[in-house]
A and B are shown apart, each in its own frame.
Chain A
Amino acid sequence: MSETGLTRLSWLFVAVTLGFAVALFQGGAPAVAGDDHDEARDLRHVMEEPSSCPIHRASAVCRSGWPCRWTGIPFEPKSSADRVTAAPDERAVRIQGEFSLSA
């Protein structure tokens, strides 16, 4: 192969390698359970919102956001103004109280 051809091939190898690098590193590190980013926190609050479905409301387990498998009523979060109002604080007070009692 001529010198020009080899130089072109060399640049092609550079481009292919950079393509691999982009594919491997694009998007940055995925979120893991240990992270506590704003997005994860928002997502957690949405998951914790009460649903209009009575079984969702009754069950602390069924919070997937899908229509309830028993009633078929879809998950309907309340307005964002109602989100994360008293619940976390109440929990905090309860946990604090339990801690004080046990202490």
Chain B
Amino acid sequence: MPLPRLIPCLDVAGGRVVKGVSFVGLRDVGDPVELAQYYSDGGADELVFLDITATPEESATMTSVVARVADVLAIPFTVGGGVRSVDDAKRIIESGADRVSINSAALADPSLITAIANRFGSQAVVVAIDAGDGVVHTHGGRVATTTATVPWAREAAERGAGEILLTSIQQDGRRNGYDLALTARVRDAVSIPVIASGGAGSARHVADALRVTDAALVASIVHEDPTGLAGLRKEIEELGVKLRPLSEHYG
């Protein structure tokens, strides 16, 4: 097994990083490339950028953010939001992203998962699931569907997804811990990696998640002080979870 991954997530709107609580009440927290640099220096194992506005007009803005990040940083990263076709995925991967994350578009047309996987490999396709009350939600968590979370995760994996990004809508932004039970259920249902997301408020929360699954997304907890990531990593390791050893290049 690869080492557990700590993944800062940057929600992007109009080329800026923003953060809200349970997907609403957005505020500006910084420049994507600058924040990405802090996280990279602090030992982030990879990054996720989610274009949370994801209107067609925004896609050019997002592509340029992706290219700027790729040109500045030698770090793996995933880009989600607004990926609705193989061409969208191609545009983002050719701009330097390692993976695309698809959500509503995969629900609307699950064959999109297979189409992107066939072109770029399964490792390039993350299926993001916003889960609440046992069902998948769309539109940034606002609209409940009738699709049950665990079977959908299983179907996504069978169709060629290389990873599941599982966000608990109830926990997101509230900083009182990940939904570990939900994470474990999805982990047990698939044989691809699962990233836990939503609810990190302390090193202990992250350590608990990394004992359950392969990777943990962090947002609010690091956005307040992006230079604090190195400290967070240290605390997680002190709680007994072994992370990637950083070479002498890191502060």
Whether A associates with B in a native complex is: no
Which residues of B are at the interface with A, using a C-beta cutoff of 8 A? none
Which residues of A are at the interface with B, using a C-beta cutoff of 8 A? none
